[in-house]
Structure 1
Amino acid sequence: MKNFRLQRSGPYLVMAPGIILLLLFSIYPFLFLLKISFQEYSPISLDKPFVGFDNYVRLFSEHHFWNALKITAIFVSSSVILEFALGLGLAVVLNQLGWGQRLYQSAMLLPIAMAPTVVGLMFRFMMNEQYGVLNYFVESLGFSRTAWLSDPVLALPALIFTDVWQWTPFMMIILLAGLKGIPDEPYEAAMIDGASAWQTFIYVTIPQLSRIITIALLLRTIDAFRIYDTIYMMTKGGPINTTSTLSWMVYDNGFKFLEFGYGAAVCVVLLIIIVSLLTFVLKKVDVFEMGGKK
């Protein structure tokens, strides 16, 4: 009887540490965040009155929020699409290499081994208007110096370029693993049918990679929404809020102006946007894989 009880309780005992950590570092912080989003919460005030949906009403009525939402959408869509396209291209090229593949692969993975703060600081120096190395090449081509990070038109593209440089290898390594997992039989059948290289890529490689592509895109999309370190080191949300994303808005209001309740409301809205987007994408992928039948 004792062994039977131990056998039944064994799985729960094994899962207990993980469940406790999940409660402490995930569920409780989320519930606390949700709670203070309905309060006028400030660490410098003992009075934390319940204000209902006032923080959310203020959020949706501010131009700054809609601007941050637009900047976030542009940044996430541009960086993820570029990283996917470049990562897929690099993965295909590396998959065709024989000798030296691991050497090239290791060299290309160096950017993701660097902390985002280090990458942001490095590109901040490289894009400096006075002594940046990028302006050295611009001048050598006969053009005038460019204020990459202080120009409202160029600041966001510079931020996207930095993110693409660092995270394209992440896409590449996931897609390369997917390519290596594709069996030879579909390619042999396509060759027998006389399919060209492009037709084989579109009708054999891409469908075989569909789930890997979905995973890579979802992981990078979630991470792109959370960008903060690079913005802090490069632009600090400027110039004129042209690089102020929703994640930067959380920092700006929560830690700069100490409006924790308002910052928590931004976090909740950002979470809803991410979950809704991911749910929509996963549903579309499932429908596509089932031939449109749900």
Structure 2
Amino acid sequence: MNKFKLSRSGPYLVMAPGMILLLLFAIYPTIFLFKISFQEYSPISIEKPFVGLSNYIQVFQDQSFWNSLKITIIFVLSTVSLEFFIGLFLSIVLHQLGKGQKIFQSLILLPIAMAPTIVGLMFRFMMNDQYGVFNYFAESLGFSRISWLSDPQLALPALILTDVWQWTPFMMIILLAGLKGIPSDPYEAAKIDGATASQTFFYVTIPLLSKIIYIALLLRTIDAFRIYDTIYMMTKGGPINVTSTLSWIVYDKGFKFLDFGYGAALSVVMLILVVTLLMLFLRKVDLFNVEGKS
């Protein structure tokens, strides 16, 4: 009898440490975030009065919020689109390779092994208008020096380029795994029917790869939405706020100006936007319906 009880409680005992850590480092901070978003919360003030929805009203009246939302949307759409198409191309090329696939795959995956802060610092040096390698090649080709990170028209594209360089391999490896999981039977049937390479790609490969594509796009969209490290190392939200994304203004308002209540309200709004995007995506695409249409 004791052994039976022990066996039934065993899974809960195994899960307990992880659940405790989840409670301490995820659930409690989220509850605390919601709590202080309704307060005028500052670490330099003893009193933290309840202010109701005033922080949220201030968010939607703040022009910097709408500007950051626009910049975030541009950044996410640009990076995820470029990473998907380049990653798809690389995954197809690697899938066709025989010898040397492992070597090329390892080399291409190097950027995602680096911390975003290191990547941001590296690209900041390479894009320096005085001694950066980008300007060295520009001058070698006969162009004048370019202020990559101080020009309002180039700062955001420079960030997009940096993100694409680092995270395209992530998209590639997911799509490559999906390609390797496609059985050979549909391709043999398409070949017998006389389908061309482009017809096989659009009518066989893409439909069979659609679930993997959706998952890759979802993961990268959520991750790109909360970019912060690279911005901190490269532009710090400038010049003139053209790279100030939602994550950056949360830091700027909450930690730089010590307005934790307003920063928490911004974080909650950002969380709601991401969760809404996730729910719309999952409603549109049934990722768990394996037997459904691809």
Q: Do both share a fold (TM > 0.5)?
A: yes
Which amino acid in structure 2 is aligned with residue 163 of structure 1? D
| Cα distance in structure 1, aligned partners of 2:271 and 2:150 | 30
Aligned residue in 2 for 1:153 = 153
| Cα distance in structure 2, aligned partners of 1:10 and 1:126 | 54
| Cα distance in structure 2, aligned partners of 1:14 and 1:117 | 35
Matches within 5 A, 1:34-53: 34-53=34-53
Deviation at 1:5, TM superposition (A): 2.0
Which amino acid in structure 2 is aligned with residue 215 of structure 1? I
Aligned residue in 2 for 1:200 = 200
Deviation at 1:4, TM superposition (A): 2.6
Aligned residue in 1 for 2:102 = 102
Deviation at 1:3, TM superposition (A): 2.4
Deviation at 1:7, TM superposition (A): 2.6
| Cα distance in structure 1, aligned partners of 2:7 and 2:136 | 69
Aligned residue in 1 for 2:28 = 28
Deviation at 1:176, TM superposition (A): 0.5
The C-alpha deviation readout for 1:57-97, integer Å capped at 9, x for no partner, is: 00100110000000000001110110011000000000000
Question: Normalization by structure 2: what TM-score?
Answer: 0.96
| Cα distance in structure 2, aligned partners of 1:195 and 1:285 | 28
Matches within 5 A, 1:32-111: 32-111=32-111
Unaligned runs of 5+ in 1: none
Which amino acid in structure 1 is aligned with residue 59 of structure 2? L
Q: Tell me, what secondary structure is at the counterpart of 2:35?
A: helix
1:225 equivalent to 2:254? Answer no
Which amino acid in structure 1 is aligned with residue 268 of structure 2? V
Deviation at 1:291, TM superposition (A): 5.7
| Cα distance in structure 2, aligned partners of 1:138 and 1:53 | 52
Deviation at 1:286, TM superposition (A): 2.2
- Across the two proteins, how many residue pairs are aligned to each other? 292
Q: CA RMSD in A?
A: 1.5
Aligned residue in 2 for 1:191 = 191
Deviation at 1:133, TM superposition (A): 1.0
| Cα distance in structure 1, aligned partners of 2:41 and 2:13 | 38
The C-alpha deviation readout for 1:184-226, integer Å capped at 9, x for no partner, is: 0010001011111111111111111111111111111111111
Which amino acid in structure 1 is aligned with residue 66 of structure 2? W
| Cα distance in structure 2, aligned partners of 1:21 and 1:291 | 39
Which amino acid in structure 1 is aligned with residue 49 of structure 2? P
Which amino acid in structure 2 is aligned with residue 100 of structure 1? G
Q: Tell me, what secondary structure is at the counterpart of 2:286?
A: helix
| Cα distance in structure 2, aligned partners of 1:256 and 1:30 | 21
Deviation at 1:165, TM superposition (A): 0.3
1:234 equivalent to 2:234? Answer yes
Q: Tell me, what secondary structure is at the counterpart of 1:209?
A: helix
After TM superposition, the structure 1 stretch with the greater mean CA deviation from structure 2, 270-279 or 13-22, is 13-22
| Cα distance in structure 2, aligned partners of 1:8 and 1:112 | 41
Matches within 5 A, 1:156-195: 156-195=156-195
Aligned residue in 1 for 2:213 = 213
After TM superposition, the structure 1 stretch with the greater mean CA deviation from structure 2, 79-88 or 278-287, is 278-287
- The alignment-based identity, stated in percent, is 75
Which amino acid in structure 2 is aligned with residue 209 of structure 1? L
After TM superposition, the structure 1 stretch with the greater mean CA deviation from structure 2, 55-64 or 128-137, is 128-137
| Cα distance in structure 1, aligned partners of 2:185 and 2:114 | 39
| Cα distance in structure 2, aligned partners of 1:255 and 1:112 | 28
Q: Tell me, what secondary structure is at the counterpart of 1:262?
A: helix
Unaligned runs of 5+ in 2: none
Which amino acid in structure 2 is aligned with residue 256 of structure 1? K
| Cα distance in structure 1, aligned partners of 2:113 and 2:234 | 19
Which amino acid in structure 1 is aligned with residue 213 of structure 2? I
Runs in 1 of length 4+ with deviation above 4 angstroms? 289-292
| Cα distance in structure 1, aligned partners of 2:207 and 2:270 | 31
Which amino acid in structure 1 is aligned with residue 220 of structure 2? R
The C-alpha deviation readout for 1:213-254, integer Å capped at 9, x for no partner, is: 111111111111111110001000000100000000111011
Q: Tell me, what secondary structure is at the counterpart of 1:266?
A: helix
Matches within 5 A, 1:119-130: 119-130=119-130
1:114 equivalent to 2:114? Answer yes
Aligned residue in 2 for 1:144 = 144
| Cα distance in structure 2, aligned partners of 1:6 and 1:136 | 69
Aligned residue in 2 for 1:135 = 135
| Cα distance in structure 1, aligned partners of 2:268 and 2:145 | 42
Which amino acid in structure 1 is aligned with residue 103 of structure 2? L
Aligned residue in 2 for 1:268 = 268
| Cα distance in structure 2, aligned partners of 1:124 and 1:70 | 24
